[in-house]
Chain A
Amino acid sequence: MEFSYDDEQNGLREAVSALLSRAYGDSEQRRRVVGTDPGFDEKTWGQLAEMGLLGLPFAESDGGMGAGPVEVSIVAEEIGRVLAPEPFVEAVVLAGGLVADLGTDAQRAEVLGALAEGTLLPAFAHTEIGSRWQASAQSVTATEDGGSWRLTGVKEPVPNGARADLLVVSALVGGATRLFLVPGDAEGLTRTGYRNHDGTRSAKVSFAGTPAQPLGEGTGDQAPAIEKAQARARVAYGHEALGAMETALTTTAEYLKARKQFGVPLNKFQALTFRAADMYVSLELARSTVMWATLVVDADGDVVAAADRARLQTSRASRHIGKEAIQLHGGIGVTAEYKVGHYTSRLTAIDHLLGDGDWALARLAGTVDDHETVDALA
Chain B
Amino acid sequence: MRLHLSPEDRAFRDEMRTFFTTQVSQSIRDAVAAHRELTKEQFIEAQRALNAAGLAVPHWPVEWGGRDWTPLQRHIWREEMQLAGVPEPLAFNTSMIGPVIATFGSQEQKERFLPATANLDIWWCQGFSEPDAGSDLASLRTTAVRDGDDWVVNGQKTWTTLGQHADWIFCLVRTDPTAEKRQRGISLLLFPMDTPGVTLRPIELLDGGFEVNEVFFEDVRVPAENLVGEENHGWDYAKFLLGNERVGIARIGSTKRMLIEAKEHARGITVNGAPLSEDPYMTARIAELENELLALELTALRVVANSAGGRPHPASSVLKLRGSELQQAATELLVDIAGPLSVASFPDEDSDVPGWAQVATPSYLNYRKVSIYGGSNEVQRTIIAGSILGL
Contact = CB atoms under 8 A, between A and B. Distances in A.
Interface of A: 1-6, 9, 70, 249, 253, 256-257, 267, 270, 273-274, 276-278, 280-281, 284-289, 291-292, 294-296, 298-299, 301, 309, 312-313, 361-362, 364-369, 372-374, 376-378
Interface of B: 1-5, 9, 13, 72, 76, 83, 256, 259-260, 263, 267, 277-278, 280, 283-284, 286-288, 290-299, 301-302, 305, 315, 318, 321-322, 378, 380-382, 384-386, 388-391
A253 B295 contact: no
Contacts, number: 151
Contacts of B288: 312, 361, 364
B318 A281 contact: yes
A17 B290 CA distance: 35
Contact of A277 (B263, B286, B389): B389
Contact of B321 (A4, A281, A294): A281
Nearest to A253: B389
A365 B295 contact: no
Contact of A301 (B3, B13, B278, B391): B3
A361 B284 CA distance: 6
A277 B384 CA distance: 6
Contact of B292 (A2, A285, A296, A368): A285
A367 B287 contact: yes
Given A4-B305, A281-B318, A377-B5, A274 B295 contact: no
A309 B291 contact: yes
Given A1-B72, A278-B381, A365 B3 contact: no
Given A274-B378, A284-B318, A365-B287, A267 B294 contact: no
B320 to A, nearest CB: 11
A369 B1 contact: no
B295 A285 contact: yes
A236 B155 CA distance: 59
A46 B285 CA distance: 46
Given A3-B302, A377-B13, A369 B277 contact: yes
Given A2-B1, A253-B390, A256-B391, A373 B286 contact: no
Contact of A365 (B13, B284, B293, B388): B284
A361 B4 CA distance: 25
Contacts of B4: 1, 299, 377-378
A294 B386 CA distance: 31
Contacts of B286: 365, 368
28 contacts: A1-B301, A3-B1, A4-B305, A6-B1, A9-B1, A253-B390, A273-B382, A276-B391, A277-B384, A280-B384, A280-B388, A281-B384, A284-B299, A285-B292, A285-B322, A291-B298, A292-B294, A294-B1, A298-B1, A299-B4, A361-B287, A368-B263, A368-B277, A368-B286, A369-B283, A377-B4, A377-B13, A378-B4
